[in-house]
Amino acid sequence: ALRSVVVGCGSALPARVVTNDDLAQRVDTSDEWIVQRTGIRQRHLADESETTSVLGVRAAQAALGEAGLGPEDIDLVICATSTPDHTFPSTATQIQAGLGIHQGAAFDLQAVCAGFVYGVATADKFLTTGAARRALVVGAETFSRILDWEDRTTCVLFGDGAGAIVLEAREGAGTKSDRGVLTASLRSDGRHRSKLYVDGGPGSTGTTGFLRMEGRDVFRFAVGSVTDVIEDAFRASGTTAEELNWFVPHQANRRIIEASADKLGIAREKVVLTVDRHGNTSAASIPLALDAARKDGRIREGDLVMIEAIGGGFTWGAAVIRW
Ligand code: ACO
């Protein structure tokens, strides 16, 4: 049977680092409040030239470099983003062009913070059915462009960045010790729209709009609901929390992450945390965290890795990957 094996990983962050103290000069907040409630200490924010596709291209180039592959080797580009450069064409096609890829298909996928998990699940279907051979899955965001910088309850939480992986279809025995995506489990429920949304768009105000959030409700839903997809993913892959080497959740908030890990019986030392450095980068947060844990030597070939996220909609999902 075909498996989608991770053969490269890369990321890109804007050069500009903004600390909590920097933000406190702009809005009525403090380092102490932000760290205590969220675990965030700093975030990277894009300058004008660093668009979502620019960051996405940089992350994808790094992933291709690690894989030792060139543009001619990729026949699928999926970009998970909620902050595209334009309404259309898709950011994925801009990344495709930026990389010099002229074959195959490229499209954006919008599931907000769960976008990367949705992207991996989607690419996996293409690869394991033989519809594509090598896929680039990118999570790229510039949430700084949809933040209301007057609203201290939201603007302190987010950052910009991009991450990417290359997945390659390989023949395997189909066991849980074979490398590749073992399973992915997705959910959504559109009844929760008002909890987390952007108050603009072509069909409403005609402007881009700003992110709006009911923080407490999102927190409650996040901790309450991630466990069901994670338990599904463990069950479907025949793996357990004990076997897991690394838990790489969407990086929204340290308290959400630790509460979820505790609830699932995942030891704290297996949890990869980057929210302190990156803030919440939505669809980019998981591949940014994967790349950080790859580069610092934590995630190694053969390790069992769980990725998990919840985002606006709500949308949520989890995937188990033998790295
Ligand atoms: N600085 C200082 N004070 C603030 C700030 C700030 N940046 N923001 C809010 N406050 C104040 C509020 O005004 C309020 O003051 P009051 O008590 O005088 O009214 C007080 O702090 C408490 O506000 P709450 O909103 O109740 O604070 P809470 O403890 O719920 O923490 C937070 C807020 C961090 C947003 C929390 O609800 C949370 O983490 N929610 C999850 C949301 C999330 O992570 N979303 C990310 C996007 S979704 C996703 O990625 C899954």
Q: If you write DSSP's letter for every residue of 232-252 in order, what string do you get? A: HHHHHHT--TTT-SEEEE--S
Nearest CA to ligand 1 atom 3: 29
Q: What is the largest CA-CA distance in the chain?
A: 57
Q: Which of 170, 169, 161 is nearest to 138 (CA)?
A: 161
Which of 153, 157, 280 best tests ligand 1's pocket when mutated (most atoms within 8 Å of CB)? 153
Which of 81, 219, 310, 315 best tests ligand 1's pocket when mutated (most atoms within 8 Å of CB)? 219
Using left for φ > 0, alpha for ψ between -120 and 50, and beta otherwise, residue 226 falls in: alpha
Say how many Å lie between the CA of residue 197 and the centre of ligand 1.
16
- Residue by residue, pLDDT tens for the chain (323 residues) are 999 999 999 999 999 999 999 999 999 999 999 999 999 999 999 999 999 999 999 999 999 999 999 999 999 999 999 999 999 999 999 999 999 999 999 999 999 999 999 999 999 999 999 999 999 999 999 999 999 999 999 999 999 999 999 999 999 888 999 999 999 999 999 999 999 999 999 999 999 999 999 999 999 999 888 889 999 999 999 999 999 999 999 999 999 999 999 999 999 999 999 999 999 999 999 999 999 999 999 999 999 999 999 999 999 999 999 99
C-alpha 97/C-alpha 103 separation (Å) is: 10
Measured in degrees and rounded to the nearest 5, phi and psi for residue 139 equal -115, 120
Could you tell me the pTM of the whole model?
0.97
Spatial neighbors of 41 by CB under 8 A, at least 6 apart, are: 19, 20, 31, 34, 35, 276, 277
How many Cβ atoms sit within 10 Å of the Cβ of residue 129?
A: 10
| DSSP β-ladder status, 304-311 and 315-322 | antiparallel
Note whether 286 and 116 are within 8 A (CB): yes
Instruction: Point out which residues pair with 134 in neighbouring strands.
Output: 168
C-alpha 188/C-alpha 311 separation (Å) is: 9
Q: Which residues are catalytic?
A: 113, 250, 280
Say how many Å lie between the CA of residue 126 and the centre of ligand 1.
40
What ligand 1 atom has the least distance to the C-alpha of 282?
A: 50
Domains of the chain, CATH where assigned: 2-171 (3.40.47.10), 180-322 (3.40.47.10)
What ligand 1 atom has the least distance to the C-alpha of 152?
A: 7
